[in-house]
């Protein structure tokens, strides 16, 4: 099972967009308080459109609460990681995999990362950018894991129109 963990997210639009990605990919979302917004904010609803009602998410009072209630393999996305995100094996669909992302302004604190140095990763990029947008990074990670799992039960054809929609025009 794939899981996205947002440590103290600050921007409601990012979280709403991530919720939409989680619904699209059967990925569970875990939110670590404090949140920089209210879950009923307009920005969350606008970014998540009408999909967020289908999002499987849990809110935790702090990171210790999250760790106490969840076991599996933890991967940390941080600009301080030394391995690219593609260097890990996420191919086992039976494994509980957690991709942990830090808050937009400061990331994940060092004291949380230190015990997991071998599972800290960075998305390669130029020296002109400190970090990619959080919701973009989440989408890249989730789809890399899904690619390794051959996309499991996700649809390859658009379900609301016919398979030959383009040809019919």
Per-residue pLDDT averaged across 55-74, rounded?
A: 97
- CA 150 vs. chain centroid, Å, equals 18
| Helix 134-148 with 12-25: angle, nearest 10 deg | 10
For the segment 113-142, the average pLDDT, to the nearest whole number, is 96
Q: How is the beta sheet containing 57-60 ordered, strand by strand? A: 57-60, 28-32, 2-7, 97-101, 73-77, 120-122, 83-84
Average pLDDT over residues 43-67: 86
State residue 53's pLDDT score. Answer: 85
Residue (of 23, 24, 146) closest to 93 by Cα position: 146
Confidence class of residue 48 from pLDDT cuts 50, 70 and 90?
low
In the chain, the percentage of residues whose pLDDT exceeds 70 is 95
Whether pLDDT at 129 is above 90: yes
pLDDT of residue 73: 98
Name the token pair of 152.
């499991």
Q: Model confidence over 15-34: pLDDT tens digits?
A: 999 999 999 999 999 999 99
Measured CA to CA, the distance from residue 157 to residue 128 in angstroms comes to: 38
Q: Calculate the average pLDDT of the chain.
A: 93
Measure the CA–CA gap between 78 and 113, rounded to whole angstroms. Answer: 9
Strand pairing class (2-7; 57-60) = unpaired
Condensed to tens digits (0 to 9), the pLDDT of residues 79-119 reads 999 999 999 999 999 999 999 999 999 999 999 999 999 99
Query: Can you give the pTM of this predicted structure?
Result: 0.93
Cβ-Cβ contacts under 8 Å for 115 (sequence gap 6 or more): none
């Amino acid at each position: 099972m794939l899981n996205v963990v947002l440590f103290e997210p600050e921007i409601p639009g990012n979280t709403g967009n991530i919720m939409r990605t989680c619904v699209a990919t059967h990925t569970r979302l875990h939110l670590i308080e404090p949140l920089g917004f209210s879950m009923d904010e307009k920005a969350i609803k606008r970014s998540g459109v009408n999909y967020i009602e289908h999002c499987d998410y849990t809110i935790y009072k702090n990171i210790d609460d999250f760790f106490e209630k969840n076991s599996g393999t933890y991967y940390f996305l941080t600009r301080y990681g030394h391995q690219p995100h593609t260097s890990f094996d996420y191919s086992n669909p039976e494994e509980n995999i957690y991709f942990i992302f830090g808050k937009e302004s400061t990331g994940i604190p060092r004291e949380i990362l230190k015990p997991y140095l071998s599972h800290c990763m960075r998305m390669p990029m130029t020296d002109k950018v400190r970090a990619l947008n959080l919701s973009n990074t989440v989408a890249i990670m989730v789809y890399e894991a899904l690619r390794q799992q051959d996309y499991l039960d996700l649809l390859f054809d658009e379900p609301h129109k016919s398979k030959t929609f383009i040809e019919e025009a």
